């Protein structure tokens, strides 16, 4: 059976998420980062400082 889920995590890296899911007995087929919260904020702060 194949299911699709969306998972939101904080302060984590993709390999850590995959490792945690596998250790819980969940077979991970792929992980895709769709949105990184705060990325736009970081860029706007850089422009403001320049």
For residue 43, what pLDDT band results from cuts at 50, 70 and 90? low
Domain positions in the chain are 14-49
Is 18 exposed, middle or buried (CB count within 10 Å of its CB: 0-12, 13-18, 19+)?
middle
CB 10 within 8 A of CB 23: no
Whether the pLDDT of residue 2 is over 60: the answer is yes
Q: Quote helix, strand, coil % in the chain, to nearest 5.
A: 40, 0, 60
User: 5 Cβ partners below 8 Å, 6+ apart?
Assistant: none
Res 48: pLDDT: 60
Whether the pLDDT of residue 41 is over 70: the answer is no
Task: Quick: pLDDT tens for 8-34.
Answer: 888 888 889 999 999 999 988 888 887
């Amino acid at each position: 059976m194949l299911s699709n889920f969306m998972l939101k995590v904080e302060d984590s890296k993709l390999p850590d998420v995959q490792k945690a899911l596998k250790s819980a007995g969940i077979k991970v087929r792929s992980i895709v980062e769709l949105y990184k919260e705060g990325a736009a904020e970081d860029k706007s702060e850089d422009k403001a400082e320049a």
